[in-house]
Structure 1
């Protein structure tokens, strides 16, 4: 193929072929003319991606599509490679997730709002809300000899203030993936400082990401069941 291209250029009179060390060289550069690929669509939901694939809206001659769960917040669908070993990347789904920065210190009021708006309701979240929402003084004390336990003065009744132990560790389910699937629960270290200020540290080594990607794959397998059975779609995660 390379020799044919070189010879074609030589025939046009625009280049010469020279042999050096049993290898053929052109005196002019060759540029590959690549097959065109489409611009990628972008949606914000898994249902949008599934609806696009079911519709077969873009019929480019490829019979199969592959869906790749890239991360908990990104899924792409593409074709087999073409003659230039490039793929048609049809559509990308990117999750919209609320903003919450782990390892960052929030004041008690902002942290309280974040707990309610960026986390799924569960038992540990409600316990944290009761502690953070009823703090009566700025000081946070270390208790015990384990280097972990903390306590604050908090309102525990209609007119009662007492020393309340800060829950730690806690199991929470932040909104970190597509809302169509279950948000994985994972362990967090909950810490407080004088102010009072609060923060969460992830403590599951990133295992939640694998759980979220598994949930996405299962959702798409159900949404695209007919296409999968007909051999038109393959899903990997």
Structure 2
């Protein structure tokens, strides 16, 4: 920025034109030998946050302290990715000032893993529900098997499992289960959706998302509802606009 300003001043001197700044509807221009050029101001780095409460507090600080001297902040919600920016000026510029994204655990969807690994994930990275508890109980017995044979009809799986010389034991695996993984901000209720559970011949398991991505739509709705409530006064005053 300083280099650009120095070059402009040098150009003014060489062109024998008196330095002159003019502001038109919030945009600064500097007079040169060739006319007026828009003067670009240095931009601050984005402020990054990982919670909705942190985001709303930062928005309030910016507005209440008139940090940027702008009439409206735009909050753009794209599922979990939230960007707060200034409104357009006459030059069509938008400055991104705050970005929020939640801290999400590794859920391992679509990846082969042991039953033990899946149970750990279900216990630590999913919201505890009645369905989660039942699912953990239903697959816990698969941890002790050494050999697996199964009948897969494309809908469900019947597992015949054996440990050492013990008698074979059959397990019927329900293919679809409803779970609440942690996929968004802690301030909103996590979305429950359908998952496809499969067991391969080695005894490893795979959990697939099976709702066609509909959970993203619901997450976005819940985030927008939270922001509308937390920033209600600023929205009513026309100082904040939520898009999502």
TM range (shorter): 0.7 to 0.9
The correspondence of residues 80-91 of structure 1 with structure 2, limited to 5 A, is 80-91=87-98
Residue of structure 2 aligned with 1:39, choices 27, 39, 45: 45
- 1:36–1:164: structure 2 CA closer, same or farther, 3 Å change rule? same
Structure 1 residue 71 corresponds to structure 2 residue 71: no
User: 1:140-219 alignment to 2 at 5 Å?
Assistant: 140-143=148-151, 146-152=153-159, 162-219=169-226
SS in 2 for 1:134: helix
Gaps of 5+ in 2: 1-10, 17-33
Residue aligned with 2:171, SS? strand
Partner of 1:228: 235
- Is the alpha carbon distance of 1:153 and 1:119 closer, same or farther for their aligned partners in structure 2, counting shifts above 3 Å? farther
The aligned length equals 209
Q: Report the Cα distance in structure 1 between the residues aligned to 2:178 and 2:127, rounded to whole angstroms.
A: 11
Query: RMSD of the TM alignment (CA)?
Result: 2.8
- Please report the TM-score for the alignment, with normalisation by the length of structure 1: 0.78
Contact 1:139–1:152 at 8 Å: present in 2 too?
A: no
Aligned counterparts, 1:61-140, within 5 A: 61-72=69-80, 74-135=81-142, 136-140=144-148
Instruction: Establish whether residue 12 from structure 1 lines up as the match of residue 20 from structure 2.
Output: no
